[in-house]
Structure 1
């Protein structure tokens, strides 16, 4: 039973960390911008966590105007590393993140909206761009990924290497290995000797207690023999 609980805890923990990383880390889509617009959104339910909170005022509003970018996106698989050749629609929100989480420090919503407007094109004469964003698109919960940057590209089959994500995971692995080595060294130098000393002290105390008990029993036995 304990083994099942341990594995369940590990699966839940790693799944949560993976979901958090997948939502927060930047992703890159090859898109064709078809339209931009602004719409008032109600932020009264639990899905508020999927909208940005650039300042205290925005966090307290029940609804606010949000800018959106409508695109046609190239389909990909394997977390966006490979293109399948097809296309699908994708709508991005365009909100400042400010100083809040996730820490993109985005303050140029108006500039990004202008850049997206400038890249609008028709299907007959497409102009392609790479949209950098974070977050998820979910039609049921009406959540949208947040656009962070956009830049034009010459062709839709461009290869985008996620350098930030690569460096991030390398840093995480190195930091984890360093922390593990530091903990092992600390455990060998501090924890294990302290535990060993505590065990020896406990054994010594137990021996003394047993010895005193034996003396008391022998003393009581002498009184019983006299009777």
Structure 2
């Protein structure tokens, strides 16, 4: 039983970590090289794209017109973002300005000869073989490739989640002390009384049997 609970706890912990890693905002310092729209095949990876409820249009072939932002990191490696509204659907970024963000990203395009660096706030993962892209939330110019803005939103969210978990833990401890532990003690005491009564009844039965056997022997 203990190994099962351990495995369950590990699986739960990994699931929570992956969930937070995907949903929390991250910041990347990059250089924008291109912005464009592309008909994108949406299939088994649909969970990593915006919900149709946000107003996205998808044709009968399962293709969606998605905005993309091509960038290059300071180390020269490419990194591609999608640019979709999130609406009121999860995750709750309430993004409705993908058109404005696309225009801003287009205005901030630059070349390697004359680079202009920006910090892109996004959520999600980039998995090439699954055609999964992080969703850009905002873009802000920065002074250079070495500038790494502090990720305040993610820190605040983690602090709030930590505070909620602490409050839940405290409430559980209080509930355990006030309700569960007294119930366990009461059950233990009831069991002890039942066990004592059982022992007493067994002793009486043995005594009666012994007296009956002695009378039989005297006959």
Which residue is equivalent to 1:189? 178
Q: Is residue 67 from structure 1 mapped to residue 67 from structure 2 by the alignment?
A: yes
Q: Is residue 125 from structure 1 mapped to residue 114 from structure 2 by the alignment?
A: yes
Relative to 1, partners in 2 of residues 1:57 and 1:168: Cα closer, same or farther, differing over 3 Å? Answer: closer
Which residue is equivalent to 1:90? 79
More strand by share: 1
1:151: how far off?
Answer: 1.6
2: CA distance, partners of 1:217 / 1:57: 83
**1:108-147 to 2 correspondence within 5 Å?**
108-147=97-136
| Structure 2 counterpart of 1:155, from 130, 138, 144 | 144
**1:137-161 residue CA offsets vs partner (Å, 9 max, x unmatched):** 1111111111111122232222310
**1:107-156 residue CA offsets vs partner (Å, 9 max, x unmatched):** 11111111111111222112211111011111111111111111222322
Which residue is equivalent to 2:189? 200
2: CA distance, partners of 1:117 / 1:29: 17
1:175: how far off?
Answer: 2.6
Relative to 1, partners in 2 of residues 1:108 and 1:157: Cα closer, same or farther, differing over 3 Å? Answer: same
TM-score (norm 1): 0.84
Which residue is equivalent to 1:80? none
Relative to 1, partners in 2 of residues 1:167 and 1:56: Cα closer, same or farther, differing over 3 Å? Answer: closer
Count the aligned residue pairs. Answer: 214
**Structure 1: segments with no counterpart, 5+ residues:** 75-85
Kept after mapping to 2: 8 A contact 1:54/1:100:
no
Relative to 1, partners in 2 of residues 1:203 and 1:58: Cα closer, same or farther, differing over 3 Å? Answer: farther
**Structure 2: segments with no counterpart, 5+ residues:** none
**1:72-97 residue CA offsets vs partner (Å, 9 max, x unmatched):** 123xxxxxxxxxxx221111001111
1:53: how far off?
Answer: 0.9
2: CA distance, partners of 1:173 / 1:106: 25
2: CA distance, partners of 1:209 / 1:94: 74
1:190: how far off?
Answer: 2.0
Matched residue SS, 1:64: strand
